[in-house]
Structure 1
């Protein structure tokens, strides 16, 4: 039994990053015109999922997944960044610079409405 335990290598820890938004801006419809609007810069936790290429993005203390991500491979190497989401709501993270960008891209193109407010947030992450 000890021989089997000795042959099993250490379990590699899943990658986790804590990200803090540094700046955020966007636009909102005020009823008669679009104007610049300030947005709260959020915090995020990026965690590796069930496989080495799967990641999820959540806000600290929440179980709700804000973004599901897949880190692509370039040949045998993992890509230096990953893009999560789609046209409307997107999150991009660079594993080398440890920077992220989140944006909500719809709103303005759908017409004049106070409901959808396009924005962009930028920030930096720390690997735990």
Structure 2
């Protein structure tokens, strides 16, 4: 929780210069997943403490970047889609590893689905689904 509050405060202190598009802070609220435990697959919700994301323009006029707090690089680059009511819709990645977001509902969904089929039986790749809510960021300062 302290990490989320610190991340929120730091992000609010910065501004992306030259970009007037909206940015968002998204925090995971509920998750489900599977884990390899005691020689079998079991339902095991992932830890939500690292499921905090920043959504912001990537620098390209038609693309957004999704970056998990603590990561050096974005996990997704998403094509910019606008609904008829001008709200933002992001559909990034795919069923194997994806992220979706709506600025109309301020909700997101992050999934990792390839782990079970791609790596066999181990704790190295555990499939999961995270849902959560986002808030608009009004960035002030300079991000470098």
User: 2:117 aligned with 1:109, yes or no?
Assistant: yes
- Deviating 4+ runs (over 4 angstroms): 76-80
Q: Which has the higher contact order (CA 8 A, sep 6+)?
A: 2
Residues 53 and 71 of structure 1 are in contact (CA less than 8 Å); yes or no, is this contact kept in structure 2?
yes
Instruction: State the partner residue of 1:98.
Output: 106
Residues of 2 paired with 1:52 and 1:23: CA distance?
Answer: 32
SS at 1:113's partner residue?
Answer: coil
Unaligned 5+ runs, structure 1: 1-10
TM-score in terms of structure 2 length: 0.69
| Structure having the larger proportion of residues in helix | 2
The answer to whether the aligner puts 1:121 opposite 2:134 as a matched pair is no
Give the structure 1 partner of residue 78 of structure 2: 69
User: How many aligned positions are there?
Assistant: 117
TM-score by length of 1: 0.77
Q: Which has the higher strand share?
A: 1
Structure 1 residues 60 and 109: CA distance shift in structure 2, 3 A: closer
Root-mean-square deviation (CA), in Å?
2.3
Which of 31, 44, 51 aligns to 1:37? It is 44
1:61 Cα deviation (Å)? 5.0
Find the residue that maps to 2:135 and give its secondary structure.
strand
- Structure 2: which 5+ runs fail to align? 1-17, 138-144
